[in-house]
């Protein structure tokens, strides 16, 4: 999967943590946040004076992560065109945003999309967006 990794950091699931990965070619940003209870990935438009959250997908509930005491590595990577982003945790894809199609994908399929975006159910075909 050819991606440009714009953010990489080690964290512990359940510890307050935020990582931001900007697109190299478009006015977008992905933000992964663990607030101590849940992990979410946000699709953000940075083109205006104020940041606008376009979509959000659920990554995990901390209580359900079996190896949460071990360090994990979060990476946010972007496609060559800068319009598709992927969240990798320990090199495993957990979520994808396709900004062109306004489509989100995540392993939990939660929450229902809002703001004109569609999807959220995981589909392995989403990884083909990066080939």
Sign of the alpha-carbon torsion through 92, 31, 8, 85: positive
Q: What is the pLDDT of residue 21?
A: 98
**Vertex 68, ends 63 and 72: CA angle to 5°?**
135
DSSP for 20-53, written as a single string: EEE-SSSSEEEEEEE-SSEEEEEEEE-SSSS-EE
Q: What is the pLDDT of residue 125?
A: 94
Whether residue 100 is preceded by a cis peptide bond, meaning omega within 30 degrees of 0, is: no
Q: What is the pLDDT of residue 39?
A: 98
Low-confidence ranges of the chain (pLDDT < 70): 1
Q: Are 34 and 14 in contact (CB under 8 A)?
A: yes
Percentage of residues of the chain with pLDDT beyond 90: 92
Q: What is the pLDDT of residue 2?
A: 84
Q: What is the pLDDT of residue 131?
A: 84
Q: What is the pLDDT of residue 115?
A: 79
Q: What is the pTM of this model?
A: 0.95
Of 98, 103, 100, 74, whose CA–CA distance to 87 is shortest?
74
Buried b (16+ CB within 10 A) or exposed e, 37-48: ebbbbbbbeeee
The domain limits of the chain are 4-130
């Amino acid at each position: 999967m050819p991606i440009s990794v714009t953010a990489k950091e080690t964290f512990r699931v359940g510890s307050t943590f935020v990582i931001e990965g900007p697109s190299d070619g478009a006015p977008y940003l992905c933000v992964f946040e663990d607030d101590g209870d849940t992990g979410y990935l946000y699709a953000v438009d940075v083109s205006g004076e104020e940041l606008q959250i376009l979509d959000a997908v659920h990554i995990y509930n901390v209580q359900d992560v079996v190896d949460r005491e071990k360090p994990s590595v979060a990476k946010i990577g972007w496609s060559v065109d800068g319009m598709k982003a992927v969240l990798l945790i320990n090199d495993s894809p957990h979520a994808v945003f396709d900004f062109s199609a306004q489509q989100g994908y995540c392993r939990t399929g939660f929450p229902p999309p809002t703001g004109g975006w569609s999807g959220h159910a995981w589909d392995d075909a989403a990884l083909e967006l990066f080939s």
